[in-house]
Structure 1
Amino acid sequence: MVWLFLVYHSHGQIRTVDGSIGKIPRTTSGLDSLNVEEEIRVKLNGKTKWTDYKIISHKLDTTYIDTTLTIQKEYKFNFLRKDNFELLAFHNQGQAFNRLGYDFNETSLFPDIGFSGKQFGFIDINKVKYYEVPTPTTEIMYRTGIEQGQVLDALFTVNFSKRFNVGIAYKGLRSIGAYRNSLSSTGNFRLSYHYETLKGQYAIKGHFVNQDFSNQESGGLTTTSLEAFLNDDPNFSNNRGQLDVNLENAESLLEGKRIYFEQTFKLLSSKDSLNQKDFSNLKIGHNFTRESKFFRFIQPTLNTDFFGGANTASNINTKTRYLLYNNQLFLDFNSKYILGRFRALIGAVNYNYGYDTRVNPSVSAQNPVVNNELKGDAAYFGARWNAKINKFQLNAKATIIPGSGRLAGNNFHGEALYKKDSLFTVKAYANISSKAPNFNYSLYQSNYYNYNWQTSFENTEIRSLGGEFLSKWGNASLSITNIGEYVYFDENNAPRQASTAINYLKLKIGREFKFGKFALDNTLMYQNVSSGSSIFRVPEFVTRNTLYYTDYWFKGNPLMVQIGATFKYFSKYKANAYNPLLGEFTLQNTTDIGYPMLDVFFNGQVRRTRIYFKIENLSSTFLKKDYLSAPTYPYRDMSFRFGVVWNWFI
């Protein structure tokens, strides 16, 4: 069977029934409707139209299958399959990412297991896509790994009827890496479906996800090896595998499984007498989530110089588990009298986090651990409102978990969007949340003495205001965030809660200039932490500039080429250190990181196939060897990558 993965993009092509190719415009959908900006310029025959090939997000935003070759596709051709402008990758794909910027526009209501350094590739509920296609549709993405290995992302989706679709996807990665003990191996299986009855009275959608992320953990280079790297010692420049690492046989594994479904039943509906469309209806609905996660750290041979003393001589095997059940009932009311759709909801959540047994008392002598697990349940209430008034789109949602338990908190998010035809779109938003820290801040245990704690932190309070301006002349976004009771890991790898608030400003602007067949795409981000910069660290400037050439080659234009170079730079800052035992980033005060990177690419498109060739970090051949992803973790040397994305429409 052929698998496939379809992603959300801004422009696209689709094969018509006569085999021709047409452009897909950027779309912004409302709640349940499609909003198309321009007419497609292609001859269509038969009953199949380009708008029939749909990708539907968890929030019911709809776009279409995308097979074009654009500069945005170049940015997204990576393991995460998204633009990683605000991320700094480790040398091997499938490893962690250090952060160059943060986004607090929307925050989750419930605390997670933690180990956030391992969850960049994790697909949560909001990232699962649903499909609606008139014919079986397929896409495969392939990309070479570092030294040896590859990543394959594939999906197959089919409509068994107009009202019933199933999508099956799998992303697998195995990449050895250039340094010792740095292999990455991941697997990600997704099954999504949606169905509704003939008249839409009953509908159900859901998915099943099973994913695992396995990494050999090197702990970075030893002091001597790091010095050899920074000084460009010729004995190691051509064979990074000869450099010593701190951990020779450590390994981490993050696993996750999720079952989710949502079903609705229409109780009442009315028709507009003029256009016979639903203008008022009442639906009752229910959704259910069961999500489990496990994080395991395995180390057959101890390294007490790196992690400190332990209560065992060998065989570290720490397993942290997490289980969440979430049941929600809701009532949807859609009417012209409330200018849109209103939802009232009530839910119950049950959680269980911890370890199978309590840590040996000799371990917890310095940092007492009273319990081996945290568990409980809570009820929550909320409401959502979505409305469209002329060219304004208004969205608001609020949820509260009352009481004083571990999950007690609240979340409010509101936004207003104004769209002026195809000229520009303006959006403003506000986000206020109060949420307990992730569970690994509250309870953690290990055979290493210094990695045992049970804490009782206050909720983290986040207040964020921001806006976006999108237009054909350029894009800009601004956010101002205040964070109270911020929780982090300090220089000693211990959890801490800030006593002062953090004030964080982020401004990002982008503009593309075109000169015939050439284009210059620019993105600049400015960040400022006016309060709390000692614990919340980001570079002041991050810039990316891509100069590229696009043209059709050969008679009849069978090949579209895209040739260019991308320059990226971020100013020096004390980037967080990475701790493999915690799977988290921690503060450090010794190393400043910031440098330029230059990538060169040659991409091509033949019909619905996109081919990618890239030389990554070409600048490493002539600039100073100070390119690190985190202290003791070098970024990748110059490397050649190849990949392809291929679509079929049967």
Structure 2
Amino acid sequence: MRNIFGWVLLVVVGFFCSISAMAQNIDNFSQNVEREKSNRQSILDDSTKLVYDASTIQYTTLKDVKFDQKRWYSIDTTLQRVRLWGTREANDYLVQNLGNPGTAVRPIYFVMPDQIGKNSGFQNYDLYFNDHNSIKYYDTKSPVTSIDLVLGSQTRSILDVGFTRNVNPRWNVGLKFTHYSIDKILDRAGKNDFNVLNYQLQFFTNYTSQNNKYKALFNFTRFDHKVFEQGGIINEDSLFYLNEQAPVYLTQAQSQDMRFNYHLYHQYELANGFTAYHEADILSQTNTFSDDDWTVDSLFIKYKYPPIFDERMTNELSRFNSVSNEVGLKGNWKNWYVLAYFRRRDTFFETKYISGLQSRGENYLGGYMRLDLDSLSNVELKAEFNQFGDHILYGKYTHKLFDVSYNRTQFAVPYLYEDYLSNHHSWSNNFRANQADQIKGAIKLSLWNNNLRLKPHFTFTNVFDFVYLDENGNPQQSGAPAQMISPGFDLKLRFFKYLNFETSIIYSVVTGGSRDIFRIPDLYTNTRFYFANNIFGGKINFQGGLDLHYTSEYYAYDYDPTTQQFILQNNQLVENFPVLDAYISFTISTLTAYIKATNILQSQGEGYFVTPYYTGPKTGIDIGFRWYFFD
């Protein structure tokens, strides 16, 4: 594995060097001399030497280009979230995982799907996969290299290395490499006893023609995510679970999610304000689960998921492929923006023990409209349908003082939940499509010269015909609707100039005939208290403070590693433990660094569970830094 990692780094570094050398030799390719002179002049210092920093790099996204938002963003050099590297804290504790970064993860609150067509059903590693909607497309005035490194307690680390540069003022290329190396927090034999290994490589490029009529965005992502499954603690009532040597169900098992994704978006302006576009996407996903010796992990098959046809070992394999092509027309007229499109999407799914290929061809018609009332207010409408009745109807009104939206969605049942045969599960189902309605609203208040910001918000979700996995890990469909009502508020307060207090609180109630299948906590809180200031004559940007999270106890979903799915359970309450972190962070020039003491309340008390039979991280010290190089 180390040899593979070394070769990958060698290839990445070699590519960076070759791109940089090539770009240096083809600077004369640019025909826009006046623009280049203007750009260079704007970044000259008093000694007429070129100065590059964070202000000379900006990025946009596919969504901004496709929907003509014409937005460019500065790279993040702030201290606000740099220390939030773990899966749960990076997502404001709004997700459930298995305790460790890189493990299977799901949202705590119901999320309306963007994709209404067929998918594989293997979605619990989606959060770690950088799909085309999350790719950043840059415009730089110099080559830019970024390094993000986290050295977490208990030998857990994450490395992000990125490189981007403009070949000329209209063409940018870049690479990003991500590596997770996460040791176990339970039943750990020692250093390099891995729980998660992840390698992800991205290539991205964007191009604009000289007359600005043609634009193209392309990216490729290779994602290899391997998890050494543990199955949870065998005896959760024992004090032994406080120790990292706590016995677990699985010691020989591993899961893998491998993906390849190609995405192209390009457009051509036919006339002033009238543009045609084409968008193509190819995704290949392979999921495996294996345990080569059930005699060692015998308690798992005895008490959890007995084997159906092989008592010695399990080797499961599923493959999913999708090919999508979308063509559309879009136009701007004054403060109106309108888009209409047709999309063809073909999906294919196969498993090891079912002969034949499952497939479905989907034809979509859709449209989007936006009316910009002013710089802070707009109206958005979206509709999408396919021939199977799946659809999205979405509307949102945004005002400087409030937001309100409505989303009505019918979405297809994943392949996994329909026909599946493995060594531990077997089913064949013919379910109706899932359906959901969601209303969201928020009021945005700003007082005391923006030193007090209050945002009360409300979410109402109605779900029916929902397909879920029961206590045995088998798919079922709800026979009655369920309603989730979640009022809450966000508060940000600055006082004494440098002190800041921020908190988010959500209270939730679930009602309806199918309320038991939606497991969300009654109370969620996430709070920060910190000091922030520029010190030493403004040369150092400093921030230090406390992060506190608390979720009330609830019967969270259990996890079935054989299918990589979260399932219902009624045996163990989780959470109900305040997680308190203390940190200091600072920025000097292009270097940002931090040190964080995690879960400091546990050092003198018991641990806690984030998922049934899976504990949260223990007390430890995390160190991290982010460094930009602008040459």
Q: Normalising to structure 2: TM-score of the pair? A: 0.84
Question: Does the Cα contact within 8 Å between 1:89 and 1:635 map onto a contact in 2?
Answer: no
Aligned-pair CA distance for 1:82: 4.0
Within a 5 Å distance, the mapping from 1:523-602 to structure 2 comes to 523-531=504-512, 532-553=514-535, 555-593=536-574, 594-602=576-584
Please tell me the residue identity of whatever aligns with 1:53: I
Map 1:221-260 → 2, pairs under 5 A? 221-223=233-235, 226-228=236-238, 231=239, 233=240, 237=242, 239-240=243-244, 242-260=245-263
Q: 2:80 aligns with which of 51, 68, 71?
A: 71
1:398 aligns to what? 383
1:355 aligns with 2:351: yes
1:552–1:561 CA contact under 8 A, matched in 2: yes
1:324 aligned residue: 322
Question: Residue type of the partner of 1:166?
Answer: V
Q: Deviations over 1:40-70 (max 9, x none)?
A: xxxx998989765222122115343334433
Q: Does 1:115 align with 2:122?
A: yes
Question: Which residue of the partner structure matches residue 342 of structure 1?
Answer: 338
SS at 2:508 equivalent = strand
Separation in 2, partners of 1:332, 1:584: 39
Structure 1 residue aligned with 2:363, among 375, 379, 397? 379
Match of 1:544, as an amino acid? N
**Residues 348 and 59 of structure 1, relative CA distance in 2, 3 Å threshold:** same
Whole-Å separation in 1 of the counterparts to 2:567 and 2:356: 24
- By how many angstroms is 1:503 displaced? 0.7
Equivalent of residue 291 in structure 1, options 273, 283, 298:
283
CA distance in 1, matches of 2:556, 2:365: 39
Moved more, 571-580 or 76-85: 76-85
Secondary structure at the counterpart of residue 505 of structure 2: strand
Corresponding position: 1:187 with 2:163: no
Cα distance, 1:250 vs structure 2: 0.4
Deviations 1:469-520 (A, max 9, x none): 3454223332211111111111111101101111112233111222323222
What letter matches 1:87 in structure 2? V
Structure-to-structure mapping, 1:53-452, within 5 angstroms: 53-60=57-64, 62-74=71-83, 76-78=84-86, 82-97=90-105, 99-104=107-112, 107-180=114-187, 183-223=195-235, 226-228=236-238, 231=239, 233=240, 237=242, 239-240=243-244, 242-269=245-272, 281-302=273-294, 303=298, 304-305=301-302, 306-336=304-334, 339-358=335-354, 372-391=356-375, 392-402=377-387, 404=388, 408-419=389-400, 425-448=401-424, 451-452=425-426
Higher helix share: 2
RMSD: 2.5
- Tell me the secondary structure at the aligned position of residue 237 of structure 2: helix
Contact 1:58–1:125 (Cα < 8 Å) also in 2: yes
Secondary structure in 2 matching 1:413: strand
Do the aligned partners of residues 355 and 387 (structure 1) sit closer, same or farther apart at CA in structure 2, a change above 3 Å counting? Answer: same
- Structure 1 residue 88, shift from structure 2 partner: 3.7
Q: Distance in 1 between matches of 2:115 and 2:443?
A: 25
- Measure the CA separation in 1 of the matches of 2:615 and 2:499: 34
- Call closer, same or farther: CA 1:505–1:63 in 2, change over 3 Å: farther
% identical aligned pairs: 20
**Structure 2 SS opposite 1:120:** helix
**Contact 1:67/1:609, CA 8 A, preserved across alignment:** no
- Gaps in structure 2 of 5+ consecutive residues: 1-11, 17-41, 189-193
Distance 1:72 1:197, change over 3 A: same
Aligned pairs, how many?
567
More divergent stretch after superposition (297-306 vs 578-587): 297-306
**2:22 — aligned with what?**
none
Q: CA 1:551 to 1:328, structure 2 compared with 1: closer, same or farther past 3 Å?
A: closer
Paired AA for residue 641 in structure 1: D
| CA displacement at 1:169 relative to structure 2 | 0.7
